[in-house]
Amino acid sequence: MAQAQPAPSSFPSTIPTDPTTHQTASTYISLTPHPLSASQLTTFVRSPSAGATVLFIGTTRDTFATLPVSSLSYTSYIPLAMSTLRSICSSLLSKHEIEKIAIVHRLGEVGIGEESIVIAVSAKHRQAAWRAGEEALEEAKRRAEIWKLEKFVGGEGVWRANRDGVMGVKVEPDEGKEGREGVENKGESGTLDVSEEG
Amino acid sequence: MASGKSPLGHFSILYFAAASTFTGKSTEHLPAPVLARNLFTSLEQLYPGIVDKVLSSCAVTVNLEYIDLDGEDTPQLELMIKEGDEVAIIPPVSSG
């Protein structure tokens, strides 16, 4: 929650105040406006038949290339993203010898240095857990219908695209209400070649 | 989602990320039926420049299914967007 300043107006109506969660015996998926708990995920994937648990924590970074980032927020097409994440989990469960998998992603405003995605995978043996964990992250980044808006120090915002490491679409600041109404965006051609954190 | 039920003779369209910034909206209702392959042209009339700046890199879903309009194999050229459908403009994603 922001203090006195107006809440980010980029997508006010699309972030529900409650988490959206799907859980089965082997899968836990959640899109949530609340801070993420890595220990909750490792607890979920713990199993007497698992000898290995792999945990990935992706945190928001304070720069894009060399540009200082002041804040980030995530929005999502929640029903579609849930269905995509379910499909990623079920294909990993059938492809790799893993016991359980959990993927959670934060939505809304996320402070710099906070967790934006957490993935936990358990397996009998470490190799399968490592591989499935990495694949879960790569597939989620490639496919999950979630979008990151990075706001740079100085006020300009950019919708990021994971694909190609391009910078995405610039959002012009407009006085008092950064974000949507009456804002015209410009195609962005900055092809900064950087790889990204989780 | 913000869409809610669309009024008679309309479908809902959801705009995300750059599409939401460009239109200034997260959702609206547009007249149905419309051929899916004419959707971008209709949006261009409402929001000049949107095809070039935003839609050219976007995918489209109808009722949570991606549609294929430019594939040579089985393009869904006759697909009709009907009253009550939920359409979404899906820009390149950026989770993580």
**Residue B22 belongs to a domain with what CATH number?**
3.10.20.30
> Does pLDDT of A183 surpass 50?
no
Q: Is residue B52 part of a domain?
A: yes
B5, part of any domain: no
Domain annotation covers residue B96:
no
The answer to whether residue B3 sits within a structural domain is: no
- Structure tokens of A23? 């859980």
Q: Where are the domains of chain A?
A: 20-193
- Residues paired with A59 in a beta bridge: A115
Both structure tokens of B80: 């009709």
What distance in Å separates the CA atoms of residue B87 and residue B7, rounded to the nearest whole number?
A: 14
pTM to 2 decimal places: 0.84
Comparing A193 with A27, which gets the higher pLDDT? A27
Query: What's the token pair of residue B63?
Result: 């009722």
Residue B47's region, left for phi above 0, alpha for psi from -120 to 50, else beta, is beta
Within an 8 Å CB–CB cutoff, is residue A187 touching chain B? yes
Phi-psi region for residue B64, left (φ > 0), alpha (ψ -120 to 50) or beta?
Answer: left
Best mutation target, A80, A115, A181, to test chain B (most B CBs within 10 A): A80
Residue of A nearest to B96 (CA): A198
The domain A20-193: what is its CATH number? 3.90.1170.40
Number of H helices, E strands in chain A: 3, 11
Tell me: pLDDT of B72 over 80: no
- The yes-or-no verdict on residue A177 having pLDDT over 60 is no
User: Which residues have C-beta within 8 Å of that of residue A127, sequence separation ≥ 6?
Assistant: none
Is residue A20 within 8 Å of residue A30, measured between CB atoms? yes
* Number of domains observed in the structure of chain B: 1
Say which residue the tokens 């199993």 belong to: A47
B2 within some domain: no
CB contact under 8 A, A144 and B64: no
CB contact (8 A) between residue A163 and residue B92: yes
* Distance (Å) from the alpha carbon of A121 to chain B's nearest alpha carbon: 17
Residue A3 has pLDDT above 50, yes or no: no
The neighbouring-strand residues paired with B10 are: B31
Check residue A65 and give its pLDDT. 80
Cα atoms in the 13 Å half-sphere on the side-chain side of A182: 6
Write down the pLDDT at residue A162: 87
ipTM (interface pTM): 0.93
pLDDT tens column, A89-124: 999 999 999 999 999 999 999 999 999 999 999 999
Question: What was the pLDDT predicted at A167?
Answer: 61
Q: Note whether residue B60 is domain-resident.
A: yes
Instruction: Supply the range of the domain harboring residue B50.
Output: 10-90
Order of strands across the sheet with B86-90? Answer: B27-31, B10-15, B86-90, B59-62, B65-66
Give the mean model confidence (pLDDT) for residues B50-60: 96
Q: What is the mean pLDDT of residues A55-60?
A: 96
pLDDT at B70: 75
A108 touches chain B (CB under 8 A): no
| B1 interaction partners in chain A (CB closer than 8 Å) | 14, 77-79
* B82 or A12, which is more confident: B82
A36 is in an annotated binding site: no
Q: What share of chain B is helix, strand, coil (3-state, %, to 5)?
A: 25, 25, 45
Check if A9 contacts B (Cβ < 8 Å). Answer: no
CA distance A74 to A69: 14
pLDDT value of residue A14 = 66
What is the Cα–Cα distance from A101 to A44, expressed in whole angstroms? 8
Scanning B18-77 for CB atoms below 8 A from A yields: 18, 20-22, 24-27, 52-54, 57, 61, 64
B23-53 pLDDT tens trace: 999 999 999 999 999 999 999 999 999 999 9
Give, as one character, the DSSP assignment of residue A7. P
Q: How far is B68 from chain A (nearest CA, A)?
A: 16
Confidence of residue A164 (pLDDT cuts 50, 70, 90): low
